[in-house]
A and B are shown apart, each in its own frame.
Chain A
Amino acid sequence: MSASAEARARRPARVAAARTATRGSRTRRRRRLQVIRFLLATVVCIVMVFPIYWMAVVALSPRNELFTDRFLLWPSALTLGNFADVFTRFDVLTWLQNSVVITLFVTVLSTFANLLAGYAFAKLRFLGKNALFFAALSTLVLPVQVTMVAQFRLITQLGLYGTYWAVILPSAATATGIFLARQFILGIPDELVEAAKLDGAGQFRIFRSIVLPLCRPLIAVLVVLTAMATWNDFAWPLIALKQNYLFTLPIGLLFLQGQNTPQFEDVMALSLVAVIPMIVLFLVFQRYFVQGVARSGIR
């Protein structure tokens, strides 16, 4: 830090000298640098977008265009036939519905539970609070492959196997939102809570009429992050959802690809159906999504 202070002290004289001597060449150099940066960013973005673009190209291409030797970076003709095909040959609407139902339930349940827990960990004092908070957070490093066998037995024993609940309840058991909720609610002034308490409001009343209305940005972040994670979830649904009529879109996709002669155009058409809602959700709520990720480091 001292070096920079020294530099700052010496700055004025040098700045003046530098400005008069090299202003012209420096702006030109800066200009050129910016063009290089722009081109570099463009190239990177083309590479980043390409896989998604390619998915769309194959989904919209006529059948078997993949198997020609031609190197073509766009469809030779546009068709929606692959979508029609995948929707008629498979019960895609049911899979879509399953994904929506499971995502809705998990999002509501876990957002609700995380808000309540966030309030408790931020504003209330009780024995073992820090230990419990820690225990909850520690589950973030637990891969599902560690618990899957035991979890599957549990689901079966509880009679949840073969229902939506086999995925909803374990998926709602997440500490992802606890940290975000606690951090956010810590930022709500204690005075507000204390004042309400003096007015004789109970804890639930305080939560509902004072804390909750201030939590709108937090709720947006929690909903967006949870909905995306649930919609895209694969490892646990793969184990818990064995019946075709219970498949979510990711499991349905795997099922499509596992057919004897998988049609790549169909697989990509359905992938697009699964991915587009998330891209739209992201574009609409980008601010909340980026904030949430930046603040918690949780995807």
Chain B
Amino acid sequence: MSESATAPAAAGLRAAEQAPRPRPGTRRARTSEWLAGYSFAAPNLVLLGVFLFWPLLAAFVLSFQRFSGFGDPTWLGLGNYASLLSDAAFWRALLNTIVFTTLTLLGSVGLGLALAVLLNTSLPGRSVFRTIIYIPMVVSGVASGLIGVLMFDENTGVIDKGLNFLGLPPVPWQSDGAAAMAAVILMTVWGRTGFNMVIYLAGLQGISPDLHESAQIEGASAWQRFRSITFPLLGPSTFFLLIMNVIYSFQVFDIVFVLTGGGPGNATEMLTTYAYQTAFTTRAQGYAAAIGMVLLVLILAFTGVQWRTNRTRDLAG
């Protein structure tokens, strides 16, 4: 367990590149080890196979079909994908997902980094501060969404009441698209900052205090030290968080579904919520499967690019 805070995927890649350990053994011993290997991995692999890989394959097939959820699907070929091209709601959901992902990424990773640096210094009550920042992580997406509904309400919400109390104009969290998106982003950042801070704190453990000390003696300011020592040395953590936050943001569902339901209009509709509505409200399940495939390809493309970059970095370094 020497590597802390490395991407599972990146470590998996490295593992795959390792040469097999040479170990003496007869053919029979080897066969029995193979058998044992398959049997030990079987419960997990069977579950994954039946409940993830099989549905994934079926969803791929379904994305070329028309299916309402009842009766038999009919073959459409590329029809669903062709419809996507001219579907304004789909493009809006895609755009929203990208906006949401970018802003939650910047917000929560930036905040996580700032708080990790702050709470890595000696400070009375440090562990209490850390615990408080972790806690939103364990609050479910549904509960976060409901708290958001309560706090961001235009008429009864505590935030607009507070703004009013201070003599400021209220924010139309429900009726204005941009404000609704802001509410969704704020609740998501609230829930995710703790996670980013955990990873950054683990990364900070690996930076020797000597470096800071000598830079300080050289007369480097706190900001200069952060910019030229801390931030570059946290590179692996940042890289990892970039991947994980993008994956999490692309998968966002609970908070949006509960807090705005994609509205007002489709101002906060994401690819996930659009796929859900299409599958279970409109009941165009083949079309929903096609939206899902686009979502998956986007996530895979992004993580693939990041893996490659990460790997080249590892090799270069």
Instruction: Enumerate chain A interface residues (CB-CB to B < 8 A).
Output: 4, 7-8, 10-11, 14-15, 18, 34, 37-38, 40-42, 44-45, 48-49, 51-52, 54-55, 58, 66-67, 69, 71, 73, 110, 112-114, 116-117, 119-121, 124-127, 129-130, 132-137, 139-151, 153-154, 169-170, 172-175, 178-179, 183-184, 187, 203-204, 207, 228, 231-235, 238-239, 250, 253-254, 257, 264, 267-268, 271, 274-275, 278-279, 281-283, 286, 289-290, 293-299
Contact = CB atoms under 8 A, between A and B. Distances in A.
B33 A149 contact: no
A228 B293 CA distance: 28
Given A125-B23, A203-B32, A275-B138, 13 more contacts: A7-B218, A117-B40, A132-B41, A134-B12, A136-B44, A136-B45, A141-B296, A143-B292, A145-B253, A150-B56, A150-B62, A183-B1, A239-B280
A52 B144 CA distance: 9
Best-surrounded residue of B122, B187, B218, B257 (most CB of chain A within 10 A): B218
Given A55-B147, A113-B44, A294-B199, A124 B276 contact: no
B106 interface: no
B51 A58 contact: no
Interface stretch (B75-83, B148-156, B174-182): B148-156
Contacts of A8: 210, 214
B226 interface: no
A73 B161 CA distance: 10
A148 B58 CA distance: 10
B103 interface: no
A169 B47 contact: yes
A49 B136 CA distance: 8
B43 A116 contact: yes
A169 B9 contact: no
Contacts of A45: 129, 132-133
A130 B52 contact: no
B146 A234 contact: no
A282 B253 CA distance: 23
Contacts of B57: 150
B303 A141 contact: yes
Contacts of A289: 134
B305 interface: no
Interface centre among B6, B41, B45, B210 (most CB of A within 10 A): B41
Given A7-B217, A41-B119, A125 B59 contact: no
A296 B140 contact: no
B54 interface: yes
B88 interface: no
A146 B251 CA distance: 10
A132 B5 CA distance: 23
Contacts of A142: 52, 56, 296
A133 to B, nearest CB: 6
A103 to B, nearest CB: 12
A204 B32 CA distance: 12
A124 B33 contact: yes
Given A149-B279, A294-B198, A299-B195, A71 B44 contact: no
Interface in B26-78: 30, 32-34, 36-38, 40-45, 47-48, 50-59, 62, 67, 69
Listed from nearest, the 7 A-B pairs whose CB atoms lie closest are: A126-B37, A232-B140, A120-B40, A150-B58, A146-B292, A7-B214, A173-B47
A296 B44 contact: no
Given A45-B133, A250-B142, A149 B123 contact: no
Contacts of B33: 124-126, 203
Nearest to B304: A141
Given A40-B118, A48-B190, A146-B293, A275 B140 contact: yes
Contacts of B296: 141-143, 146
Nearest to A153: B58
Contacts of B213: 11
B150 A55 contact: yes
Contacts of B12: 133-134, 137, 179
A153 B57 CA distance: 13
A55 B199 contact: no
A281 B134 CA distance: 13
A80 B201 CA distance: 40
